Amino acid sequence: MIEGVKTKKLRVIPDERGRLMEILRSDDSFFLKFGQVYMTTTYPGVVKAWHKHEEQTDNVACVQGMIKLVLYDPRKDSPTFKEISQFYLGIHSPQLVQIPSGVYHGWMCVSEEEAIVVNIPTEVYNYENPDEQRLDPHQNDIPYDWERKDG
């Protein structure tokens, strides 16, 4: 696992009315601080990658559909320099992944339905000076292939 990445298996509480799932609590051992909460969607087969932040830590959970979340550690001073971590998040694997600053990340929707992802970053989005560095999902130096592995 990439240095600084934390995961939390999410507890789903169903009853006759529906279900409840807590994603992040301020009393979680790894909670840092609150910036904002947003949701984004990804259509089946679409890749949203690569980006990283210099200051912000992300807390990502998929609440509908399924995504393959991939992390790459470009931090030269990290014990996991150049390592890749991969997670499957969503309806069949409810969990939160905390992505530390400096780590590239992205995902691909691997379900047949649109994936809904919730992110709880530690910082608010700065429209004038975004804390975001982006790479093309396919043309870059990250040794990862987004193609599906059949077999």
70 strand-pairing partners: 86, 106
102 has pLDDT over 90: yes
Domain at 6-134: CATH code: 2.60.120.10
Q: What is the DSSP string of 74-104?
A: --TTSTTTT-EEEEEEETTB-EEEEE-TT-E
Question: 106 near 48, Cβ under 8 Å?
Answer: yes
Predicted local distance difference test score (pLDDT) of residue 114:
98
CA dihedral 93, 99, 104, 106 (to 10 degrees): 30
Predicted local distance difference test score (pLDDT) of residue 56:
98
User: What pLDDT, in 10s, does the model give residues 5-45?
Assistant: 999 999 999 999 999 999 999 999 999 999 999 999 999 99
148 has pLDDT over 90: no
User: CA 30, CA 4: separation in Å to the nearest integer?
Assistant: 10
Average pLDDT over residues 79-105: 98
User: What pLDDT, in 10s, does the model give residues 37-74?
Assistant: 999 999 999 999 999 999 999 999 999 999 999 999 99
Q: Cα dist. 24→13, 28, 34, 66 in Å?
A: 15, 7, 10, 19
Q: What percent of the chain has pLDDT over 70?
A: 100
pTM, to two decimals? 0.95
Q: What percent of the chain has pLDDT over 90?
A: 97
Average pLDDT over residues 116-124: 98
Computed on alpha carbons and rounded to an integer, the radius of gyration of the chain in Å comes to 15
Give residue limits of the domains in the chain.
Answer: 6-134
Predicted local distance difference test score (pLDDT) of residue 81:
98
Q: Cα dist. 35→43, 74, 117, 123 in Å?
A: 26, 24, 17, 4
User: CA 56, CA 121: separation in Å to the nearest integer?
Assistant: 6
* Average pLDDT in the chain: 97
Predicted local distance difference test score (pLDDT) of residue 51:
96
Average pLDDT over residues 129-144: 96
